[in-house]
Structure 1
């Protein structure tokens, strides 16, 4: 059995985050990533397990090979799994981590105001639903 793919904990009512999930579904290299909305029971628990307030998330979480990455480290880890134009953001590795996280925090803190907020999490397309659950242990 192959190793489970990474898990992306995202804000399901954030237009930017939901758009990022849709982009990832189209541009992911190996189609193994799982997506968990922080608003779900599993998502709330995963957030709390990693020190993120599920009622006021200031970061998404990217969990890969047992390692949880947040803020800019999570974004850069996610980008490594994609092809397409978003990979240009990998130049972020050239910035010092404090500068990357400062930029990340500005966007995260203002994401609803800039990009908008949905009233509810979208349901994935039927052919993608299996990717919106945690892998079996």
Structure 2
């Protein structure tokens, strides 16, 4: 089992919108709350399997809060926002929308993300400055 003390964001490493989301979080993670790994990585697959999440069909951002819970889809994005300065209130407001409705929008974007935003040929390679944030 992978032991972690920080919240872990699992993301699609070849998705441009997912990589932009990771860059967005890194720039605003002033309290060093998060670590990252791609869904396609060995660690990512192991983390999913440990939580009985089907790694072959997972096409969502996943947030693992060690010792607490894991979140997928819009819940994951909103939980991330709760830990970022200036986005806590936005997350709380969006949580008022039922998750079934939020996830319809999330799934629409997820289904079309490669068409609308493009795709990388390989996972992002972090710069030396942010490499320590990646598992």
Match of 2:65 in 1: 64
Structure 1, unaligned stretches of length 5 or more?
Answer: none
Count of matched residue positions in the alignment of Structure 1 and Structure 2 = 131
Q: Which residue of 2 aligns with 1:96?
A: 98
Cα distance in 2 for partners of 1:22, 1:84 equals 16
Counterpart contact for 1:58–1:105, Cα < 8 Å:
no
Corresponding residue number in structure 2 for 1:7? 8
Give the Å deviation of 1:54.
Answer: 3.3
- Listed as ranges, the matches of 1:35-46 within 5 Å are 35-46=36-47
CA deviation map 1:21-72 (0-9, x unaligned): 1111101231131001112111122223334443443212101132111111
Corresponding residue of 1:76: 78
- TM-score, normalised with respect to structure 2: 0.85
> What CA distance in whole angstroms lies between the structure 1 residues aligned with 2:108 and 2:89?
21
Per-residue CA distance 1:64-104 (angstroms, 9 max, x = gap): 13211111111110111113579645532121111111111
Unaligned runs of 5+ in 2: none
- Residue 133 of structure 2 corresponds to 131
Aligned to 1:116: 118
| Aligned residues of 1:7 and 1:33 also touching (Cα < 8 A) | yes
TM-score, normalised with respect to structure 1? 0.84
User: Could you tell me whether the CA contact under 8 Å between 2:10 and 2:62 is conserved in 1?
Assistant: yes
Alignment RMSD, CA only?
2.1
Q: Is the 8 A contact 1:52 1:58 kept in 2?
A: no
